[in-house]
Chains A and B, each alone.
Chain A
Amino acid sequence: MKILTTVKRVTDPDMKVRIQPDQSGIVTEGVEYKMNSFDEYGVEEAITLKEAHGGEVVVVSIGPGAATKELRTAMAMGADRAILVETDADLDSDAVARVLAEVVGREEPDVIIMGKQAVDSDRSQTPQILGSYLNWPQATFAYKVEIEDGWAVVGREVDGGTATKRIKLPGIISADLRLNEPRYASLPGIMKAKRKPLETLTPDDLGVDIAPKVKVLNYEAPEERGAGEMVDDVDDLINRLKDEARVI
């Protein structure tokens, strides 16, 4: 079974995000980057499926040259080879999906596993858009995946509970938090990953025009959190919630 999985290089969520003075984007100077955490679940699931069913895991990223670090991290975890579609442009989800559709056309995987969203832009669109371009069935927000006889049985997180969906492969699965516990990029794994193949392409090579259809007009920082206050006892708390905050 050939499994295609995707990773995005995102700003480390542990770091404080700062907005450019002209609100055009975030300050990137001195910022650390890492693999999008939902993609870690996706990569883990891809590797687990390969371990169970055999085959190959191909990991793809679309982004700057430095994203080789995130691709190598995926290979250190156990992916077999990587493809970087290199671009420094700002991308919308649609452009990413169209680039991926071309990669899928070349690679012809049996299943695509992606993070359900990126923790930087938080859009949660790419897997779904890709599904429509490929005309493939999709199961989003997976917490459980089983593959049997050319079908994937996917347990999904839905509002207020879970649902199970069975999709015919090839298909697209997007990973949610409870899906698994991603393994570490072990140190021996990192050394091995150095010798695994990493192919670099450009959107041009794939014939995709990545000009965005969606443009972000400006970024603003959330309002500063107000100071906390200590209350004397529970009664005081209840009164204050009633009278001052008016929430109960």
Chain B
Amino acid sequence: MSPKKPEGCAFLIGEVGSEEILTPEDFTEDQRMFAQTAKDFMDREVFPHVEDLEKGDFDKLVELLKKAGEIGLLMIDIPEKYGGLQVDKTTSMIVTEYLSKYSGWATTYGAHTGIGLWPLLFFGTHEQKEKWFPKLATAEVIAAYALTEPGSGSDALAAKTKAELTEDGEHYILNGSKMWITNAGFADLFTVFAQVEGDKFTAFLVEGDREGVSTGAEEKKMGLKGSSTRQLNLENVKIPVGNLLGEVGKGHKVAFNILNMGRFKLGVGTLGGGKRTLKVAVQYALDRVQFKQPIANFGAIRSKLAQMATQLYCLESMCYRVAGYMDQSMDHLDSAADDYPEMVMKAIEEFAVEDSIMKVVGSEVMDFVADEAVQIHGGYGFSAEYEVERIYRDSRINRIFEGTNEINRMLIPGMILKRTMKGQLNLFETIQKVEMSLAKSEAPTPPPQGDDPSLEFERFMTEEAKKLVVYCANQAIQKHMADLREQQEILMDLADMIIQLYSMDSTVGRTLKLVDTQGYDSTEVHRAATLIGLSESFQIIRNRGERLLYNLAEGDKLNAHLEAFEKLTFFPRIDVISLRRIVADAVVERENYPF
């Protein structure tokens, strides 16, 4: 690992592969052991009970949480000081990936150990932590996070729930209702957001057994039937002031930071779900015979399998890269210091753009993979007898919760803009490169493809994409300045470009490292997936870039833009069809995600 402290959005500035990134191939022996335990837990405890869980057997779900607690799966993020393990982020994410192979359980586990536990971890007082952590670690107490309300979803800060300080200053009285609360059916401890004195958005800890706390009926959902989702009603609920979480009026800090981390976790979770789905799909394709042969022999099916594997490879490269960065930036922190949680949060906040990217990509890759898995199953994929039917329904919510993909897409360029304005992100170097390219009279000539362990072509393509993205972003900023925030259509296109660039940069970075450590010949499938990913990302970037420019200017000005655009881009002649055959062969041969 490079000794330099990693910075968010580095992929917009540095040259691809110039910084060493963490890849799954680097996982340590300990991390693999954690993964094995998580896998064993899924195989032995969770998968045998999916049918009951889907029918809403939440006693079983609670029992599973307790069992998970017994083997330490709930104490991963809890500090040692409070009886936990406090392992690194990478390990925590590996466990999340493995535990996410069944969504009903993943959501329950995620709500308890993630958005349920983190508010306390980062904002709780010593007394609060001492009181709750040991019980959260064993699932004697189950946690939930109550932000959303019937009238406020994306606009979370507009919550109407009220908290009034009693005259003696000893208690708060809470009134209001919260909507869509995961784990509400059996949770004992809720992080509740409410307005104090009208508009001071504030977080509180509310015990489930307080008088006036009640929950509605189970929501009748499209998917995630193996998790509990209910409305939470608070009617004159009296809680001691000691239950205040963080400061009065600083609830937004709690809400947004926790969502940030939740997005990262969701990205990794979809990776686990996606790999499971690919495995189920390829096994079905090998079993199902039509026209006297397994449908896995057909090119149309194989290209789907290749595409699924490729997108998961790119997602995986993105996820663990960020996990590695987070660990690197926390490495030098003193875990015994009082401000440790705050420092950790800062380190995580640094990667808020990447978190949003992973949330968006993860949820969309998962939906794509689920959709193709159903297609591979044909009519049987439409039958509740098959796992993919449930996977398809379960997948859909990922694009909606933890901030809808629209909200997250808008956040991506928005946060980059903010970082640039604050001087936290220096795009100057990249803009300079763009100008140098534009000063030349001709479009660049790409280096030859293939037979090159330095992956020059792949790196070249990524660098060209980088210039293109920065050029378009710069034009959008020049034209709209601060008003850019209101130009949602432009923001969405910019977000797509940035997302694809991050995918290219992470995937090439990983494959480069692999070629270096494992040799050129033994990384054929990795290289094929990388090129397919690059080709598709590049097309999206070109497409969105063009669309933006047509909107940003007209007449001569547009002509000038388009001329510049042509200088910054080229037609990468990538034979995606042949490359897909390589990846598909690997998927079929291994009957699994092949990386």
Q: Are B72 and A227 in contact (CB under 8 A)?
A: no
B29-A30 in contact (CB<8A): no
Docked-complex contact B71 and A187, CB < 8 angstroms: yes
Find out whether the CB atom of A189 lies under 8 angstroms from the CB atom of B30: no
Which partner residue on chain B sits nearest A183 by CB separation? B71
| Chain A minimum-CB-distance residue to B290 | A227
Please determine whether B37 and A190 come into contact, CB atoms closer than 8 angstroms.
yes
Nearest residue (CB) in A for B294 is: A227
Q: Given the complex, which residues of A lie within 8 Å of B72, measured CB to CB? A: 186-189
B248 an interface residue at 8 Å Cβ cutoff? no
Please state if B40 and A15 are interface contacts (CB–CB under 8 Å): no
CB of A16 within 8 A of CB of B85, answer no
Interface 0/1 of B308-348, CB less than 8 Å to A: 00000000000000000000000000000000000000000
Say if the beta carbon of B454 comes within 8 Å of chain A: no
A69 adjacent to chain B (CB < 8 Å): yes
| Residue ID in chain B nearest A194 by CB atoms | B30
Chain A stretch 167-198: residues in CB contact (< 8 A) with chain B: 184-191, 194
Give the residue of B32, B71, B76 whose beta carbon is less than 8 angstroms from that of A69. B32
Interfacial chain B residues near A15, Cβ < 8 Å: 590, 592
Tell me if B591 counts as interface (CB < 8 A to partner A): yes
| Chain B interface size range | 20 to 34
Q: Are B590 and A190 in contact (CB under 8 A)?
A: no
Which residue, B32, B294, B522, has most C-beta atoms of chain A within 10 A? B32
Q: Does B560 contact A (CB under 8 A)?
A: no
The docked-state distance in angstroms from the alpha carbon of A29 to that of B70 is 35
Contact assessment for A72 and B590 in the assembled complex, using a CB-CB cutoff below 8 Å: no
- Say if the beta carbon of B575 comes within 8 Å of chain A: no
CA distance A186 to B74 in the complex (A): 11
Q: Report yes or no: A185 in contact with B30, Cβ–Cβ below 8 A.
A: no
**A interface footprint on B519-532 (CB within 8 Å = 1, 0 otherwise):** 00010000000000
B595 touches A30 (CB 8 A): yes
Judged by a CB distance under 8 angstroms, whether A18 is at the interface is yes
**Number of A-B pairs, beta carbon distance below 8 Å:** 60
The answer to whether B29 and A184 touch across the interface, beta carbons within 8 angstroms, is no
**Shortest distance from the beta carbon of A92 to any chain B beta carbon, whole Å:** 28
Chain B residues, Cβ within 8 Å of A66: 29
Q: List residues of chain B with CB within 8 A of the CB of A190.
A: 30, 33-34, 37
Whether the pair A34, B36 counts as a contact (CB closer than 8 A) is yes
Residues of chain A lying within 8 A (CB to CB) of residue B29: 66, 68-69, 72
Give B233-248 as 1s and 0s: 1 = Cβ < 8 Å from A's Cβ atoms. 0000000000000000
Q: Which of B29-76 contact A (CB under 8 A)?
A: 29-30, 32-34, 36-37, 40-41, 70-73, 75-76
With A and B bound together, what is the CA distance between A194 and B76 in angstroms? 17
Assess the A16–B591 pair: CB atoms within 8 A: yes
Indicate if A73 sits at the interface (CB-CB under 8 A): yes
Instruction: Say yes or no: is B219 at the interface (Cβ < 8 Å to chain A).
Output: no
Instruction: Flag whether A161 is at the interface (Cβ < 8 A).
Output: no
A16 to B32, CA, bound (A): 19
B30 CB contacts on chain A under 8 angstroms? 72, 190, 194
| A101 contacts chain B at the CB level, 8 A cutoff | no
B33's nearest neighbour on chain A, judged by CB, is: A190
Does A76 make an interface contact (CB < 8 A)? yes
Instruction: Encode B77-121 as 1/0 by CB contact (under 8 A) with A.
Output: 000000001010000000000000000000000000000000000
- Contacting residue for A185 out of B33, B289, B589, CB 8 A: B33
In Å, the complex CA distance between A18 and B587 comes to 12
Q: Contacts A73-B36, A227-B294, A228-B287 given: A187-B73 contact, CB under 8 Å? A: yes
Q: Does B208 interact with chain A (Cβ within 8 Å)?
A: no
Q: Is B594 an interface residue when CB atoms closer than 8 A count as contact? A: yes
- The answer to whether A76 and B522 have CB atoms under 8 Å apart is no
Q: Are A187 and B34 in contact (CB under 8 A)?
A: yes
Evaluate contact between A18 and B590: CB separation under 8 angstroms. Answer: yes
Complex Cα distance, B38 from A187, in Å, reads 9
Is the pair A187, B37 in contact by a Cβ cutoff of 8 Å?
A: yes
Chain A residue with Cβ nearest B279:
A14
Show 28 A/B contacts (Cβ-Cβ < 8 Å), sorted by A: A15-B590, A16-B589, A16-B591, A16-B592, A18-B590, A29-B522, A30-B595, A69-B29, A69-B32, A72-B30, A184-B37, A185-B33, A185-B36, A185-B37, A186-B37, A186-B70, A187-B34, A187-B37, A187-B71, A187-B72, A187-B73, A187-B75, A187-B76, A188-B75, A191-B85, A194-B30, A227-B287, A227-B294
Can you add 16 more A-B contacts, CB < 8 Å, to A15-B590, A227-B292? A15-B592, A16-B590, A18-B590, A34-B36, A69-B29, A69-B33, A72-B30, A73-B33, A73-B36, A76-B33, A185-B36, A188-B85, A189-B72, A190-B30, A190-B34, A227-B289
Footprint of B on A, CB under 8 Å?
Answer: 15-16, 18, 29-30, 34, 66, 68-69, 72-73, 76, 184-191, 194, 227-228
